[in-house]
């Protein structure tokens, strides 16, 4: 575990920055191939950057509000506490709003940006591993990882091997990224790449959540975490979108 690189660079922040830089580059490149100007794609990309950063913190605060006493500690972002799904949901809403105002088809823009989101997840989760957050439960599997007591994972499970769910999530993000690009080479209607992202990533996240550690506040109905319920919603939405697109082509 290396929460800091070279003694002063936050590893999670570095991976987050890298994911945005590569993601914006990829979106611009993909947008050009679809007739979207660089300025348009950059405007959407920076809006996604801001809205996702707000969303990851806001969602965590809403689902863990008991932790913030006094209330203004919710603004102490440097203390940690981010939830990926909050960023995805708010960023998607932002893209939909901007697309409507600019009279650009939402699904076309969503197709451009979906692979970049998957790539960003793959990169950012490496930062989670280096920081020792978003960790898993104890395991006897040979690839289990023991974290130092200086991070949340090691403090909760001192000297125990736990699932490196951060790396599982990273691998899942890269896998979804690859699948989206490969399947897109076929004759895919507008919206198919976005629908596949919702379906594939929802499935990946839902599965990994069973191995992750969750505090009591993160659990919801039927013993599933909040993230798993959102995953089910994404999977259903993605499957429905793909079904509707397929029926249009028949």
Where is average pLDDT lowest: 30-44, 55-69, 82-96, 235-249?
Answer: 55-69
* Residue 223 pLDDT: 79
Q: Does 49 reside within a domain?
A: yes
Percent of the chain with pLDDT over 70: 85
Identify whether 138 is part of a domain. Answer: yes
pLDDT tens readout for residues 78-124 = 555 667 888 889 999 999 999 999 999 999 999 999 999 999 999 99
C-alpha separations of 160 from 8, 126, 144, 225 in Å: 28, 20, 9, 23
Decide: 162 and 104 in contact? Cβ < 8 Å: no
Q: Which residues contact 27 (CB under 8 A, 6 or more apart)?
A: 41, 44, 45, 112, 113, 116
Which whole number is the average pLDDT over 160-181? 97
Helix axes 38-63, 84-102, angle to 10 degrees: 140
Q: Provide the residue range defining the domain that includes 157.
A: 4-180
Averaged pLDDT of the chain: 88
Classify residue 165: in a domain, yes or no: yes
Average pLDDT estimate for 217-221 = 60
In a domain, 93, yes or no: yes
* pLDDT > 80? residue 183: yes
How far apart CA 196 and CA 43 sit, in angstroms, is 24
Residue 217 has pLDDT above 60, yes or no: no
How many distinct structural domains can be found in the chain? Answer: 1
pTM: 0.89
Residues 6+ apart with CB under 8 A from 163: 135, 136, 137, 138, 139, 141, 144, 145, 211, 212
pLDDT at 80: 58
Q: What percent of the chain has pLDDT over 90?
A: 63
Residue 170 lies in a domain: yes
Let me know if residue 218 belongs to a domain: no
């Amino acid at each position: 575990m290396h929460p800091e690189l070279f003694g002063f660079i936050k590893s999670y922040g570095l991976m987050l920055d890298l994911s945005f830089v590569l993601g914006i580059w990829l979106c611009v490149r993909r947008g050009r191939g679809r007739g979207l100007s660089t300025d348009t794609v950059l405007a959407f990309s920076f809006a996604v950057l801001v809205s996702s950063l707000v969303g990851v913190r806001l969602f965590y605060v809403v689902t863990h509000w008991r932790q913030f006493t006094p209330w203004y500690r919710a603004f102490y972002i440097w203390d940690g506490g981010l939830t990926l799904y909050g960023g995805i949901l708010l960023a998607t809403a932002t893209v939909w709003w901007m697309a409507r105002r600019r009279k650009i088809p939402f699904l076309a823009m969503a197709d451009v940006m979906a692979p970049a989101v998957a790539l960003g997840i793959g990169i950012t989760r490496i930062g989670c591993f280096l920081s020792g957050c978003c960790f898993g439960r104890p395991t006897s599997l040979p690839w289990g990882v023991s974290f130092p007591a200086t991070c949340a994972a090691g403090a909760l499970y001192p000297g125990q091997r736990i699932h490196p769910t951060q790396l599982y999530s990273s691998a899942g993000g890269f896998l979804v990224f690859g699948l989206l690009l490969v399947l897109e080479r076929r004759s895919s209607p507008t919206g198919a790449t976005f629908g596949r992202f919702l379906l594939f990533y929802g499935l990946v996240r839902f599965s990994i959540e069973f191995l992750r550690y969750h505090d009591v506040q993160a659990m919801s109905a039927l013993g599933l975490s909040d993230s798993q319920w959102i995953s089910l919603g994404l999977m259903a939405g993605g499957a429905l979108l793909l079904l509707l697109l397929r029926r249009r082509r028949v």
